[in-house]
Amino acid sequence: VAHPSPWITTVAAGTHPRGTVRRYLAEGATGPFFATTFAVLNAGATTAHALWRFQRDDGGIVTRPFRVPPRTRLTLEAATVAGIDAASFATLAEADTSLVIDRTMTWDGRRYGSHTETALAGPDTTWYLAEGATTGGFRLYYLLQNPQTTPTTATITYLRPAPAAPVVRTYTLPAEARVSIDVNVVPGLGATDVSAVVAATAPI
């Protein structure tokens, strides 16, 4: 079944004509080590027209339109989408009706490890991250998704065990992009437990 012509025109331009419902996922990666899978549920009685915007670490944006029939679940393997088949990325999903979206990442060809995240309904200017460690072989990353059409900044206050003072760093987030922060290499955070407060000048 063909999409209505306004859908075709605006999707070709990388936008959604009726994208009133948005879902956000900051983490995603594909390549020799990582695999990313999206599970999408349309629990409604009408077909959902969806547009996925994959926002890569390098600032590139890849779009992928598709439809979800009513009362149907679909699976999308990120590696099948040209442009993110070997990339790190965040995801912004737009649709004309409500969707439930989960993202599962696995690693190594044996898929010996995995974790799953449910898409967020909206960005915010403040985030709290209670758990983190850079000791004992752990590698800690913070992934910041800026879905805005303009750049923004985020100030992270890294909280270390007392009596160590907090470490504060400010990062520039390009428009419609993801920024990955390797916490292990931040001065003062190379071997510690750490929590964080992320405060941005626009919702991320």
- Give per-residue pLDDT as tens, 42-71: 999 999 999 999 999 988 999 999 899 999
Please name the helix (run of DSSP H) or strand (run of DSSP E) that holds residue 9, with its range, or none. helix 5-12
Nearest to 123 by CA among 181, 40, 27, 200: 200
The whole-angstrom separation of Cα 67 and Cα 73 is 11
Q: What is the pLDDT of residues 152-193, one digit of tens each?
A: 999 999 999 999 999 999 999 999 999 999 999 999 999 999
How many beta carbons lie within 10 A of that of residue 96, not counting itself?
A: 18
Two structure tokens written together for 143: 């992934």
Q: In the 8-state DSSP scheme, what is residue 83?
A: T
**pTM for the full predicted model:** 0.85
Interacting residues of 185 by C-beta distance below 8 A, sequence separation 6+: none
